[in-house]
Amino acid sequence: MKRSTPVLHRCPAPPRRSALIRIAALALAPGLPALIPAALAQAPGTPVPGLRQIPADARYGEFEILAYPEATIDGKTVRLAAGAQIRDARNMIALPSTVSGRHPALYRLDPSGQLSRVWLLAPGEIEAARARPTGD
């Protein structure tokens, strides 16, 4: 008696590419360190000079958070605007609750006089920032 079900043929095995991949990896391996940018080769948390884009009209001052949304700039009390951004020395957004103490900073005020942007400065940025106008 013959079977009525068709015979299923297996798919042919895929070509072996593992040898080709190994050869390519060995050929490229010596050149990979040259492809890593210098910024990534630095220690984690180290600010990379020249990467922060801070507007020219940002003013210099000593920044301190009081009770959110209150803060001080050079001892004067100001409010943080809705949607205000605080950037730490690594240019990452910092929540107001994580910022404590006084910090040298560059800042911008919105038209109503509230803080809209604050950049906390790394030690290497402070000298250049002091040449900017203050909030007086």
Instruction: Compute the radius of gyration of the chain from its Cα atoms.
Output: 28
Per-residue pLDDT of the chain (136 residues; tens, 9 = 90+): 566 666 666 766 665 677 777 777 777 777 766 666 654 555 555 555 556 888 889 999 999 999 999 999 999 999 999 999 999 999 999 999 999 999 999 999 999 999 999 999 999 888 888 887 776 6
Give domain status of residue 76, yes or no: yes
In the numeric block, the tokens 């068709």 are attached to 6
Give domain status of residue 26, yes or no: no
For residue 103, the enclosing domain spans 59-130
Give domain status of residue 67, yes or no: yes
Question: What pLDDT is stored for residue 65 in this prediction?
Answer: 95
Give domain status of residue 4, yes or no: no
Give domain status of residue 15, yes or no: no
- Total domains, the chain: 1
Question: What pLDDT is stored for residue 28 in this prediction?
Answer: 75
Two tokens at 47?
Answer: 């600010």
Question: What pLDDT is stored for residue 85 in this prediction?
Answer: 95
